[in-house]
Structure 1
């Protein structure tokens, strides 16, 4: 069973959701794997991944607003080494997760009609993020 890996470099401009579905889907198609399992992994502790609706941008705004309410900036955290958004970013990444399994069939991700894969940047400043892709199958 072949295994393929790849690193996606993603530049962020601050808090937001960056859709990676087409970039990841293109790599899956080029991998040659027809049936298998894709793992998408964020190599950071203050950014995360999600599969969610990719049609209505209001969904993304609502998700980000909800995360801000659940893990607000403030001085109630012990950890603030890199600024007031540091610990809230770690909490948001913990809540949303850094790894996604996606089944692959006929050389394509088996996402639903309105599903997209997103990198969620939780930090206020721009960052260079790396997303590790691993696919195994036949």
Structure 2
């Protein structure tokens, strides 16, 4: 297995950041296998969604509706409502495994691999790519 950690700048606002090109760069030169992606953070996750047509903003809107940033959360350090960020990984998992065939990610036409980070308190995130050859 080959593994590498990259740093992704997410900034100070909630964001859905497309990291497909970083994943493709990591697997370039490989053949068949599995790409496992892991975000070692308690307040971020990974989603495979369409981007650029509004779905990325729709995901953030849906998360705000499902997990509002208010005072209901028992976990209270950080920004107001930050406890919801710690619940996020139960809904948007911190991992994804993708098939690689002939050195290419087997994503659908409109699918992208995205880092979902609602937590503006941490502007930089680590993402671990691991490739397991077939």
Tell me the TM-score normalised to structure 2 length: 0.93
Following superposition of structure 1 onto structure 2, how do residues 33-48 of structure 1 map, counting pairs within 5 Å? 33-48=30-45
Tell me whether 1:101 sits opposite 2:97 in the alignment: yes
1:54 Cα offset (Å):
2.5
How many residues matched?
133
Q: C-alpha separation between the residues in 1 aligned to 2:79 and 2:21?
A: 33
1:122 aligned residue: 118
Per the alignment, residue 19 of structure 1 pairs with: 18
Aligned 8 A contact 1:85 1:123 in 2:
no
> Could you tell me which residue of structure 1 aligns to residue 106 of structure 2?
110
Question: How far apart are residue 85 of structure 1 and its match?
Answer: 3.3
Conserved 8 A contact 1:25-1:108: yes
Residues 72 and 81 of structure 2 are in contact (CA less than 8 Å); yes or no, is this contact kept in structure 1?
A: no
Give TM-score scaled by structure 1 length. 0.90
User: More helix per residue: 1 or 2?
Assistant: 1
